[in-house]
Structure 1
Amino acid sequence: MSQLILGIESSCDETGVALVRAGAAQTEAPTLLAHALHSQVEMHQAYGGVVPELASRDHIRRVLPLTEAVLRDAGAQLSEIDVVAYTQGPGLAGALLVGAGVACALAAALDRPVLGVHHLEGHLLSPFLSADPPQFPFVALLVSGGHTQLMRVDGVGRYGLLGETIDDAAGEAFDKSAKLLGLGYPGGPALARLAEDGDPAAFKLPRPLLHSRDLDFSFAGLKTAVLTQANRLGAGLQERRADLAASTQEAIVEVLVRKTLAALAQTGLERVVVAGGVGANRRLRERLDAACRARGVRVHYPELHLCTDNGAMIAMVAAMRLQAGLEQARADYRFEVRPRWDLASVGAAVA
């Protein structure tokens, strides 16, 4: 018997709600019926970054209207929902509490079970929502503002950590470098747009850990190198901003691509999934596609509108874990959130 799953995402600065129909059999792919998303970018721009308290308050304002919109778009009634899923972590504690509280209250009011979901698992499995979903096993590059990891993925809930950042994530390197260049928030997309007009070979910037014997990442030194170069340019920075942006982006992308290829060589796998906000970066897609095509490797991405945080990926994870028998949605409406939560530990049922 199929199940209708409502997913709620509120881990940071996007409020997402979605409705997914999960088939009874694991071989039957879940179907996205509708989703709605509100981004807080405009609200946080005045502060140059996310203000946690403002983020939490905005989630409170948005989550129920978005839920109503999703139900309306899907032609479904609130009473038809079978399971309510929500992001349990990682993320901002206050923001997570909003989604968790609303989800558990809604489930209790409907007398339906509830399920907490790992935010990064949502990104990891988000390409299964695309028109060209992957097949297990694959190497996954999880790359976002807060996380940069390479994972071996053998199935739902079967994740092995291959490498991760030891300091700044790739998204942080984009954002912090953009701030050094005087670009607005969010910095990553602004730097990528500026880089389109620049020369990626204009400045020789470091590629930290590029030749290390492991699959870990490090981007803090690159940020320092961008600061040093910007200081050297002084008053001439304005004229060379596009070149410095392009060179910065190229350094980040080269490390991501080379490490991903190394992970493929180490595992012997021939399929890659790229997920997370930085996965929308056009230069990363161009270089990774070209490198993998030359090696006969398939690359899968989520749809561009699902690269950012969204409720669809949360509902999808709940559906896939339920289908795989890894979860039993609970009717106990007490909840806790996990601002810090290791994805590699999510191999069994989520508490």
Structure 2
Amino acid sequence: MTVSHHAHPLPEGVLPKAELHLHIEGTLEPELAFALAERNGIDLPYATPEELRSAYAFSDLQSFLNLYYQLTDVLRTEQDFTDLAEAYLVRAAAQGVRHAEIFFDPQAHTGRGVDLGTVVLGLSRALETSRERHGLSTGLILSFLRDLPAEDALKTLADAAPYLHLISAVGLDSAEVGHPPAKFAEVYAAAKEAGLRLVAHAGEEGPPAYIAEALDLLGVERIDHGIRCMEDPELVARLVAEQVPLTVCPFSNVRLRCVDRLEDHPLPAMLEAGLLVTVNSDDPSYFGGYVEDNYRGLRQALGLTDDQLRRLARNSFLASFVDDARRAELLAELDANQ
């Protein structure tokens, strides 16, 4: 059997890595948004892709979400979702991504009349051949919108029953403040019962207490973002002791004003503390870069060393939901990449 990475050489100077915090809707580049709008007969309130790109300037999470949900309207058919996923996979492979665990927001689509099956089957069509075509294994994470009622999340999970063989985990995203993890304890218990892995956004804009709540009340295995844990030394000690992975998104944190400048990002302190930190791109078309761009930005702005970047890549494989054989293969590729 040939090992996939021989057929898919890495770009020069790029480490192999996993991406564990990536919203597929957040990879919608302006050019593709315009192409899909035209295909589906939708008028966008922007004259050109350039004008749309200039609208990608946000003061906070909510201002980003408003545009993000407005643009999802161009996604209507299975083919639209396949094209969206394929465009990401091509870019991810060029950024050294060997494994991607991809969030999608079913309620952002079902809420506007797109069937859940259209979303899952469209995305899966691109993902199922990604290993052969791009050397990139994948997982799909169904993410609940936390600013909608918990009953909506339960209904979404029930509606997803026919497609659970295509889904590896559930997550929790969207506006965090005022929507604590506790609200979703019931749906997380049901997802666990269904055999799904569990992650949740916590401690991005919300307080450190949301991180503990996600661990204790939802039973999550991984925290998405988690940067505000640094305000609570006891919580940091716990996360280090339990080696709970944190999927940190530096460019996102700066663009959404969770951190003022990349130079101020707590990531070096998080590494220093012994946290199992990973670096990811979140919504790369909106936040100014894909995952390798984040790695390079950290090297430039914070002086991260080759060893630290290699550690982040290793952490990404350790934190991923791959089986042991795939993890060993990925770690071996990283170790061979000296």
**TM-score above 0.5, yes or no:** no
Query: Higher relative contact order at CA 8 Å, sep ≥6: structure 1 or structure 2?
Result: 1
> Structure 1 or 2: larger helix share?
2
Query: Whose radius of gyration is greater, 1 or 2?
Result: 1
TM-score of the superposed pair, with normalisation by structure 2: 0.30
TM-score of the superposed pair, with normalisation by structure 1: 0.29
